Structures are given as C-alpha cells and as structure tokens.
Amino acid sequence: MSTENTVTLDRALDASVEEFTHCFTGECRVSVLPILFEINKVLAEDADLATLMSITLDGMRRRLRMHRGIMMLYDRHSETIFIHDSFGLTEEEKGRGIYGPGEGITGKVVQTGKPIIVPRLDQDPDFLDRTRAHGDRKRRGKTAFVCVPIILAQKVLGTICAERIYLNHRLLKQDVELLAMIGTLIAPAVELYLMENIEKVRLETENRRLKSALKQRFKPDNIIGNSKPMQEVYSLIHKVAVTRATVLILGESGVGKELVANAIHYNSPNAEGPFVKANCAALPEGLAESELFGHEKGSFTGAMMMHKGYFEQADGGTIFLDEVGELSLTMQAKLLRVLQARTFERVGGSKPVRVDVRIIAATNRDLATMVEQGTFREDLFYRLNVFPITIPPLRERGSDVITLADYFVSTLAAENGKDVKRISTPALNMLMSYHWPGNVRELENVIERSLILSDDGVIHSYDLPPSLQTPTETDTGFRMPLEAKINAVEYEMIVEALKNSSGNIGEAATELGLTRRMLGVRMERHGISYKMFRPCDPRRR
C-alpha cells in the first residue's frame, strides 16, 4: 500500500473516531468507559447496589454533564415507584417523587418496559414534576429528559432517569443507549436489593401483622364472657402465661379448653414459636408414638423418609396435648420421659432428640379417679398437674349465655349470609333456662341452626331446637307439640308487641290486630304483665 493511501486511511479513521466521540459541544463519549469498567469491577466482587449507584450517578454528573440524575425502584407489591438515589434534588423533593405504573413518564417506562426520550420538557404534557423541582413550565426551557427501564428477565425493577440540555441529537441518542446498558448491567444487583430489603421488610411487616392478628384473636380479652367464674380463669391465664410452667386445662367437653391454650401460648415468652396441637384421642395406638415423636426412614413398612413428630415440630414453642387422658399406659410412660428430660428418640432411631417446648395438656376426664383405677400413671399426673385451670361449664356462667349467643349471632350471620340482628326475649329466656350439656360448642350449634331457620332478622323461640322448648316457656310441655308451638309463637308475638309499644296495651293490640280485651285475655293466660315493659320499670326487658 502506498504512503499516500496509508495517510488517507489514517485520516479517514481519525475522522470516524472524531465523529463518534465528539459532538457539537466538544464532549467525548470515550470518557464514559471508566464508568462501565468500575461497574463491572463491583459486579465481579460483591454487586453492592449502593456502590453501583454511586459510580453511576457520579459518572452521569461529571462525565455526562447531567443536571439531574435519578434512580427509581419499583415495589411490585404496593405498585409504588419511588426515588432510591439521585443528585440535583433535595431530600424533600426526593420524598415527593412517588409514582404508580402508568403515571407520568416514569410510570409509563415501568409499565411498558421501554425507554422514553423527551427532547423538550416544556413541551411534554406527560411530565408531572411530582418532585416540584422544576417550577413552572417556562422555567424548564430546552431541558431534555430521558428515562430507561432497569429490566431483568422481562421484569421491570426500576428506572434510570436524567436531565440536561442537548444541542446535538446524536449525543442524546448515545446517552440513552449508555444508560440502557448501565440499567442492564446493574439489574441483578437491583433485584437482589429488592429481595433483601423491600421484599424482606414487606414480608416481615406482614408476618408481624399476622402474628398480631393471631395474638389478638386468642388473647384472654377475646374469650367471650364476664361472669365471675370466667374472671377467675382470666386471672389464672394472666399469671401462668408469662411463665414456662406446664399447664393442665380441665373441663367438660365443649367449654373452650383449646381457646384457653391458645391464649396462654400467644401471651407467653415463646409466642413467636410454633403452636402445635396433638389430639391424643385421635391418635391410633399403632401410630401414636410415630405421630408424637417422629420416626426414622425405613423404621417400619411405609416409612419412606424421616418424619418429625409433634414434639419436634413444636420446638421453641408450645405443644397442646388435647384429651391427654385418652393415651395408653405405654404412651403415658414415653410422655413422662419427655416431661422429665425434654429428650426422646424417634421410632427406629437411637440418637436422642432434645427439644425446648412448653407443654399444655387438656382433658375432660377425671385424672385423679383414673389414677386410683390404675388407668392413668400417678407420676405422669403429677408432672402434668403443675398448674391446673378448670374451665366452668356454661350452665354455671350465668349471663355469659346471652353474651355468647349475641356474639355467635353477629359472627355466624355474616358467615351464613343471613341478615339476623338479634334474639327475641322469649328465645333468650329459653337459652337461659337450658342446662347446656354440650356447653359453648352446643350453644354455637344452636345459634347457627336458628339463624338458618329465621326469616325476619330475629331469632324467635320457635326457631330454637325442640330440646330447648321447655314447659316453662311454652306453658304446655311436650304433651301436644302442635299446641306447644302455637302457644310459643303467640307468647313471643305478644312480648315483642309490648316491647315495641313500651307496655301500651292499646298500641300492642293494634299491632297484633286484636282488641284490647282479647289481648288482655291472652296476656293473662300467658302470665304477662304490661308493667314489665314500661320504661320506668326496672324489670323491663
């Protein structure tokens, strides 16, 4: 090749390089290579987002001569786009820069995943200026605004936005391409940051909210009833909950022993730990040991893998042994060892497993009598009976019956889609007169059945099951079921009419479509006095 051709080629290359690296302003884009080098270096070491942002924003300010540079992150859960770091903005302005997907230029970039170039901010209606850093539209002058997405695996994680005045459109295009390249490079670090910080904080907040809801649900204040027997139970729960003592909950079936166990756990020092319920009455004899203490892989036919039992699952928390009186003597002996040493072996294993677990047991059986009969180990009874709490039956809780009934009406009506607001006076009298062999569980079932039968937003006496249709309330007994039903309906309608009229017999008779004399005869037959419903009468119901 001739010397002349060589000179011509060199000049052509120089001209090409100059055309690529210089613009009308004399800025050289080769100087941005250190930015990319530093970013790659950080990515190779620890991918720290704070360092990456410092390099990026500093390069945008010093080498690209940007007036403002903004890095925004997108929290998908709350659908919020917020400023993570920037230059050219005050802290107050940064705090105001919050957008949703589709809002303004930044929101559209997040929504579409495509960069947006605005050559003149003063001519673009989509620029919302949430930060209020630009003043009126005229003060934006010839400033250009570019915003590129930070994308990883087709998922938008945030944006990089910048402002400056451009006199050369080729330079503007080059800067957009550079920012897009930086966004691609830092995307993995951004995703990691979101997972470790924003997502972590959100998950921790949600976790605290759920635990708080559980604690609120099971705290003693929300065990319905204010009778004196229940106040004594609340006092015992309050005293024992803050300790780690073993608790034995006694009481008839249906009184709410599990609810008390929940209240103790969620108000205890280990409330953050698991609460595991083991229904001893439902454990088959052949599988009871495996269910309680777990088993090793291959320890018996069908043991395909190692299984952790209830005690191991409850490590760091509380295990609730419901119906503990139903355990066999063999299982009682194994349970005794756990209470003594807090260690056990899984079925088929030889390595001791140590657990830190609080034990709450419950039964409706008379364990002391079972000890005398030889069906319950005496040493296990004393191990469990450290702090006994006896839950009174519903029939001994007085007006708690009405309080519980009202509570079940409000909760079960919503669950069953029924618009039932209250219980009539005769129905309340029947509820108070009943002996409740099934306790609170039976009351709940009765209310649910009555809600289904109610047609007018009120639970009437005739909506209650036959077991509650007592001779006292119906005045007839069960000798003639049809007549008893008619009398119950008549009694209730008269009571409701007198309540609505505040004891005014004339108004009540009009409401019922009777004469005063006819109503008086029926009231006398049912033993109803209008005085009971007068406002000044303390007996008014």
What's the pLDDT tens digit per position in 69-94? 999 999 887 788 888 889 988 888 88
Residues 165 and 262 occupy one common structural domain: no
Query: Rounded to whole angstroms, how far apart are CA atoms 318 and 320?
Result: 6
Residues 388 and 403 in one domain: no
Distance CA 347, CA 166 (A): 77
* Domain presence at residue 204: no
- Mean pLDDT calculated for residue range 296-311: 78
**Token pair belonging to 36:** 């990319």
> Longest C-alpha distance within the chain, in Å?
136
Q: Is residue 469 over pLDDT 80? A: no
Q: Give pLDDT tens digits for 206-244.
A: 676 676 666 555 546 668 888 888 989 998 998 999 999
> What CATH number does the domain containing 124 carry?
3.30.450.40
Counting residues of the chain whose pLDDT is more than 90, the rounded percentage is 28
Same domain, 246 and 379: yes
What is the number of structural domains in the chain?
Answer: 3
- Nearest-angstrom CA–CA distance, 132 and 134: 6
4 part of a folded domain: no
Output the pLDDT for position 11.
45
Percent of the chain with pLDDT over 70: 83
Q: Which of 258, 234, 227, 239 is nearest to 398 (CA)?
A: 227
Does residue 213 form part of some domain? no
Please check whether residue 211 lies inside any domain of the structure: no
Could you tell me which residue, 150 or 35, shows the higher pLDDT? 150
Q: Are residues 484 and 510 in the same domain?
A: yes
- 335 with 360, same domain: the answer is yes
Please list, in sequence order, all residues whose beta carbon lies within 8 angstroms of the beta carbon of residue 231, skipping any fewer than 6 positions away: none
What span, in angstroms and rounded, lies between the C-alpha atoms of 364 and 281? 11
Which residues lie closer than 8 Å to 419 by C-beta, 6 or more apart?
Answer: 413, 457
**Within this chain, do residues 94 and 237 fall inside the same structural domain, yes or no?**
no
Vertex 10 angle, CA 5 and 12, to 5°: 95
Task: Write out pLDDT tens, residues 350-397.
Answer: 788 899 999 999 999 999 999 999 999 999 999 999 999 999 999 999
Instruction: Please say whether the beta carbons of 440 and 256 come within 8 A.
Output: yes
Task: Say if residue 478's pLDDT is above 50.
Answer: no
Distance CA 380, CA 337 (A): 9
Domain-terminating residue out of 392, 408, 434: 392
Q: Do 318 and 342 belong together in one domain?
A: yes
Q: Buried b / exposed e across 337-347, counting CB within 10 Å, b at 16+?
A: ebeeebebbbb
Here the CATH number for the domain that contains residue 497 is: 1.10.8.60
353 φ/ψ angles, rounded to the nearest 5 degrees? -110, 120
Question: Which of 199, 231, 252 represents a domain boundary (last residue)?
Answer: 199
Q: Tell me the CATH number at 338.
A: 3.40.50.300
Phi, psi of 318 (to 5 degrees): -130, 140
Place of tokens 């630009």: 134
- State which residues form the domain around 27: 17-199
Task: Please check whether residues 465 and 416 belong to one and the same domain.
Answer: yes
Is there a single domain that holds both residue 315 and residue 375? yes
Sheet holding 155-165, edge to edge: 98-99, 80-87, 68-75, 155-165, 143-152, 116-118
Q: For residue 500, is pLDDT > 70?
A: yes
Whether the pLDDT of residue 13 is over 60: the answer is no
Write down which residue in 365, 392, 419 finishes a domain. 392
Count of residues in the chain: 541
Confirm whether pTM is higher than 0.85.
Answer: no
Query: Same domain for 443 and 381?
Result: no
User: Within this chain, do residues 182 and 118 fall inside the same structural domain, yes or no?
Assistant: yes
Q: Do residue 184 and residue 154 come from a single domain?
A: yes
